[in-house]
Amino acid sequence: MCGRTACSLTADNLRRACTYRDRRGRRREPEWIRAERYRPSYNKGPQSSGPVLLSRRHLQQDADSSERVLMDMRWGLVPSWFKQDDPSKMPFNTSNCRSDTMLSKASYKGALLKGKRCVVLADGFYEWQQQSGGKQPYFIHFPQTKDTVAEEKEGDEEWKGWRLLTMAGIFDCWEPPVGGEALYTYTIITVDASKDLSFIHHRMPAILDGDDAITKWLDFAEVPTQEAVKLIQPTENIVFHPVSTFVNSIRNNAPECLAPIELGAKKEAKSTPSNQVMLGWLKSSQEGSSPKKENDLPKGRKQFSNSPSPRKTSAGILQQWLGKEGQPPAKKHKG
């Protein structure tokens, strides 16, 4: 499943991170619709709002269906046919949609067959592993390439900052029966977890890996539903690390939510290349800039434990966590 995400980029950087090529091969940045409603967050949960990509044709019938727009929508799909006057009275949890039932359940089938496909954007998502002593949270995201830069400058043609996680979603537009502003909402499609993630949880979001997959999912006018749903499958191109239980409370919205920790450590964790780039990213986030450079993080670490209760400042905790000496990179998780 997917019950918590992070999306910390500013509205402008989020738009730049979503640069794409239209049907004519021109580089484009999606237009923000109601950008003033977007709020960056390290800890987004259902019923909060989050950024999604969709085809402009959903909002403008004569538009090229390959054109993309950015919208801030509420997480938790409310079908257009819902008749009550309060969307919070929805009797079902619609934050996630199982891929094996999305074409049979009424909440999703109508919107999906009408081409209401979207891409849900995030730095990454959180998942909790069930353990004997409780649940251990992990932060899961795309690997970051070696040419990822620390800070993006105005005028740079190509985005080289943090690569956003792009999850397949379904959206709908609900209008209050008594009149009023239309409500746009979305759900994240989930699939069986990939082999590397299955030890954390048996489900994961359907991740669209690469612009070709994103194009096919969004362009409902050119790619019919039967073809688009073939894109919905697990991906192995994903990395993760354990994080503090600080993220457990939805009220906590700070860089500590996604800071790597060591499980089972009885002393301060020492610096690794991956840790250093994560620290840089978190520092830059605190300063209001785009994420800093990160090399590929390992696909999990065998021995980590909860960090101390994060009541100090983010920078102080991370400095304590990293230490000053280096150590070899951690091994990948096996199994």
Beta bridge partners of residue 166, listed in sequence order = 121
287 catalytic per annotation:
no
Structural contact between residues 169 and 186, judged by C-beta atoms closer than 8 angstroms: yes
Q: What is the mean pLDDT of residues 97-122?
A: 96
Tokens of 334: 């096996």
Residue given tokens 């100090």 in the structure block: 312
pLDDT of res. 281:
58
Q: Is 308 a residue whose pLDDT tops 80?
A: no
Residue type at 227 in one-letter notation: E
Single out the residue of 198, 175, 190 nearest to residue 5, CA to CA: 190
Amino acid type, 190:
T
Q: Are 125 and 243 in contact (CB under 8 A)?
A: no
**Per-residue pLDDT averaged across 254-276, rounded?**
67
Whether the pLDDT of residue 269 is over 60: the answer is no
Long-range contacts made by residues 275-279, C-beta under 8 angstroms, separation at least 24? 275/321, 275/322, 276/322, 277/144, 278/241, 279/318, 279/322
Q: Could you tell me whether strands 68-75 and 183-192 are parallel, antiparallel, or unpaired per DSSP bridges?
A: parallel
pLDDT band at residue 87, thresholds of 50, 70 and 90?
Answer: confident
Return the pLDDT at 166: 98
Q: Which of 98, 81, 78 minimizes the C-alpha distance to 89?
A: 78
Read off the pLDDT of each residue in 28-34 and give the average, rounded to a whole number: 94
HSE on the CB side for 278, CA within 13 Å?
A: 29
pLDDT one-digit tens code per residue, 135-150: 999 999 999 877 666 5
The pair of three-digit structure tokens given for residue 266, joined into one six-digit string: 């009885």
SS3 108: helix
Indicate the pLDDT class of residue 300, thresholds 50, 70 and 90.
Answer: very low
pLDDT number for residue 153 = 61
Residue located via tokens 């402009």: 56
Catalytic residue (choose from 7, 18, 127, 257) = 127
Q: Which residues of 70-95 are buried (b: 16+ CB within 10 A; e: fewer)?
A: bbbbbbbbbbbebeeeebeebeeebb
- Whether 292 shows a pLDDT value over 90: the answer reads no
More confident residue, 105 or 180: 105
Supply the angle between the helices 314-322 and 273-286 in degrees, to the nearest 10: 170
**pLDDT exceeds cutoff 60 at 6:** yes
Q: Is 127 a catalytic residue?
A: yes
Decide if 107 contacts 148 (C-beta within 8 A).
Answer: no
- pLDDT at residue 32 tops 90: yes
- Determine the pLDDT at residue 129: 95
Q: List the one residue out of 113, 124, 141, 121 whose CA is nearest residue 229.
A: 113
